[in-house]
Amino acid sequence: MSDLAEAQPVLSTGARRRDLVIPGLLFAAFAAAPFLAAASGAEGYVLSLVTRVMIYGLAALSLDLILGYGALVSFGHAAFLGIGAYAVGILASHGIRDALVQVPVALVASALFALVTGAISLRTKGVYFIMITLAFSQMLLFFIRSLAAYGGDDGLTLPARSLVAGQPLLQSDGRLYWASLACLAGTYLLCRSIVASRFGRVLRGAKENPTRMEAVGFHPFPYQLVAYVISGMIAGLAGCLIANQTEFVTPAFMTWQRSGELIFMVILGGLASLHGAVIGAAAFLLLEEQLQGLTEQWRMILGPLLILVVLFARGGIMGLLQRGRHV
Amino acid sequence: MSEPMLDIQHLRKAFGALTVTEDVSLSVETGELHAVIGPNGAGKTTLIHQISGLLWPGSGRILLEGEDVTHLPMHQRVCRGLARTFQITSILPGFSALENVALAVQARSGSSFRFFGDASAEPALNQPASEALALAGLAARAQVPAGLLSHGEKRQLELAVALATEPKLLLLDEPLAGTGHDESLRVVASLQRLKGRYTIVLIEHDMEAVFSLADRVSVLVYGRLIATDTPGGIRANEEVRAAYLGEEAV
């Protein structure tokens, strides 16, 4: 038995070292992108595209935390993008332009929305959970669209990007890029820790077999609710970033189509690996970009592609990468 | 006189017109291994579900060491020392055997609202988990994903998980169900080791195992308890022979 106790950490650090390769490459690529962009001659375009990838990667990462590790299929996750974006937009329209105010407000608003809707949605399972999260996000969408003072259907143009402690730190695209990367990397590390922690283990256990969890003394509900709140806050942060990137806030951020795209990104990248969600977001947005250039009907190509992924590459892109390595 | 470990008073449960538990009263002393036998459909598993809290009781009371737990949900009963295994194996297939057990230890040791630190590397969780695995005879398979264990090993794992919750009372729902001959010998041997250390309610079809392990045996037929006695007394009981043992001529 003692040799087992010793064998275990060795085994897990070995596995962990292998687990570091793909996220390491991913973040190295993000860090190198601005320099490559400068060399490419289309710096502005590349920078803004990769910033978008990272921001949606952040949103997809938040969804993977509950979808991949908790089997909670939230079909209303774009609501949090909207909350984050509108927190920035509405505060800015009242002259409050500092991110040190805007971001905390966005996080608190996201957390409250997640707490209330999660406390109700998590009492249901499966398809009902999907439907009820969708219903809540649609309610919020119609509420936002009715706010004539904040542009209603037309949305809201930001006077300028957020300040940080009174300084115009995000005004250049390059700086916004690094801020987005910092948010993504920090959140990724946080989520890695959450998933491996005691809390994460309860969440993962409840995904596999809730009855078993009850039988060892855990009630999954509070754990799932806290995970839902954390996930919502991360998506809210992504919303703050997206508002700053586009300098324009619109109800389109929070439509159910956007929620569906987030689920698509997570499945495309591969469930329950965290970096898979980011890779999925990158693949989705780059494909979208390419296909849009080819044809107006790009969704006609993207749709069947998702079907192929679900049918033939169950683990998504991460699944393909891992299969390649084991062979 | 000290409180019995488990005291069931006038438990009833009906699904529509079908009465599955009819006025069952049963008391299990501390340290006792109490077997419940009965033909298929007698309501044995329903009874375990009611005691463990998976099924809401109809009427009647369930006392654990004198405390009324009748209306507590399952996870709270577990925290009060009531652990169970399932007839149909219920484990976390994607977790290693050790992690299955460590999770049960985790439930008893401090808050699980901890977001930092690798839970799978916590000696405070892994040490007791390894001990429980060893007690159930699974020490050598600690790192194997639970879904890949053989059927008999999964039964042993269930036992280890139940042990790791530090129970006062163990409810074992057919631990021998579906095991082969060698495997069943292993499980009986682990039960033999547990006997006396824990108060156990054992539901089992294997009469040989029941009569060799139990201190007392209760016979459940169509939701009613028709006899509670020592194994010898049950063997000699005419009503039991007629209702249940019958031609098997034990």
The predicted-structure confidence for B177-203, as pLDDT tens digits, reads as follows 888 888 888 888 889 989 989 999 999
A55 within 8 A of A37, measured Cβ to Cβ: no
Below-70 pLDDT ranges, chain B: 1, 244-250
Q: Which residues of B fall within a CB distance of 8 Å from A196?
A: 117-120
Q: Which amino acid, residue A118? A: G
Q: DSSP string covering A231-294, please?
A: HHHHHHHHHHHHHHHHTEE-GGGGSHHHHHHHHHHHHHH-SSSSHHHHHHHHHHHHHHHHHHHH
Minimum-distance CB partner of A193 among B91, B115, B143: B115
Minimum-distance CB partner of A198 among B108, B119, B126: B119
Residue B246's pLDDT is 56
Residue B179's pLDDT is 83
Give the minimum alpha-carbon distance from B25 to chain A in angstroms, rounded to a whole number.
24
Locate A185 and state its tokens.
């990397």
Q: Which residues of B fall within a CB distance of 8 Å from A1?
A: 130-131, 134, 139
ipTM above 0.90, yes or no: no
Residue A6's pLDDT is 36
DSSP letter at A158 equals -
Chains A and B form CB pairs within 8 A to the count of 124
Mean pLDDT of chain A: 91
Residue A15's pLDDT is 55
Q: Which domains does chain B have, with CATH numbers?
A: 1-81+169-182+196-250 (3.40.50.300), 90-166 (no CATH)
Q: Give pLDDT tens digits for A277-300.
A: 999 999 999 999 999 888 888 888
Q: Which amino acid, residue A211? A: T
Below-50 pLDDT ranges, chain A: 1-13, 327
Q: Which residues of A fall within a CB distance of 8 Å from B121?
A: 8-9, 12
Q: Which residues of B fall within a CB distance of 8 Å from A212?
A: 90-92, 161
Question: Would you call A216 and B117 a contact, using CB atoms and an 8 Å cutoff?
Answer: no
**φ, ψ dihedrals at A319, nearest 5°:** -60, -40
Closest C-alpha among A141, A142, A137, A156 to residue A250 = A156
Residue A95's pLDDT is 94
- Using a CB–CB cutoff of 8 Å, tell me whether A189 touches chain B: no
Minimum-distance CB partner of B115 among A1, A197, A216: A197
Q: How buried is residue B108: exposed, middle or buried, by Cβ count under 10 Å (0-12/13-18/19+)?
A: middle
Q: Which residues of A fall within a CB distance of 8 Å from B127?
A: 5
Q: What gap in Å lies between CA B186 and CA B196, rounded to an integer?
A: 18
Q: Is A73 left (phi over 0), alpha (psi -120 to 50) or beta?
A: beta
